[in-house]
């Protein structure tokens, strides 16, 4: 996808991307106790990266992400599946919700749970799948533009 030449879009994107990613993290962490969670948080995060793609290009977006979105998808599936194992290992049904509140040196008391691990998995699956699709479409468009220009 050819980068749009808008200085306003590029400047706004540099400001909005960190805010969108921070907001997606907020929605992810808020969601295991209240409405929200991994799905909508993954969509918000993917929106930030898609905005960056529109302002710049696919190669810079891949570089910014730092990891192949298909790997995120796989890690997310793994995390969501693993979140069901603690309940099974303790003799409960698969995907039984369990909570722990360990005290960590720098953070103090922290709430950890299997639903949070599941939501993190869903977040990664949604982010990875949406970005895989968006980057594939951008790559197809770039190939089409190269073919048109080479005629």
Distance of alpha carbon 67 from the chain centroid: 11
pLDDT bin (cut points 50, 70, 90) of residue 25 is very high
Q: What are phi and psi of 100, to 5 degrees?
A: -135, 150
Kind plus residue range of the DSSP H or E element containing 99: strand 99-100
Give the per-residue pLDDT at 1: 45
Of 126 and 1, the structure prediction assigns the larger pLDDT to 126
- Please give the mean pLDDT across all residues of the chain: 89
How much of the chain exceeds pLDDT 90, in percent?
62
pTM of the entire predicted model? 0.86
DSSP string for residues in 67-80 = S-HHHHHHHHHHHH
Give me the percent of the chain exceeding a pLDDT of 70.
Answer: 90
Residues 24 and 5: their CA atoms lie apart, in Å, by 28
């Amino acid at each position: 996808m050819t980068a749009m030449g808008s200085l306003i879009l590029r400047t706004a994107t540099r400001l909005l991307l960190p805010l969108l990613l921070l907001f997606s993290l907020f929605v992810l962490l808020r969601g295991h106790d209240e409405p929200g969670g991994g799905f909508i948080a993954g969509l918000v995060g993917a929106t930030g990266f898609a905005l960056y793609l529109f302002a710049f290009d696919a190669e810079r977006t891949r570089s910014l992400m730092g990891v192949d979105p298909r790997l995120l998808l796989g890690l997310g599936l793994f995390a969501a599946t693993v979140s069901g194992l603690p309940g099974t290992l303790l003799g409960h049904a698969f995907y039984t919700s369990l909570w722990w509140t360990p005290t960590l040196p720098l953070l103090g008391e922290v709430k950890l749970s299997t639903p949070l691990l599941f939501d993190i998995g869903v977040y990664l699956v949604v982010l990875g799948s949406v970005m895989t699709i968006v980057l594939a479409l951008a790559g197809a468009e770039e190939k089409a533009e190269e073919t048109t220009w080479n005629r």
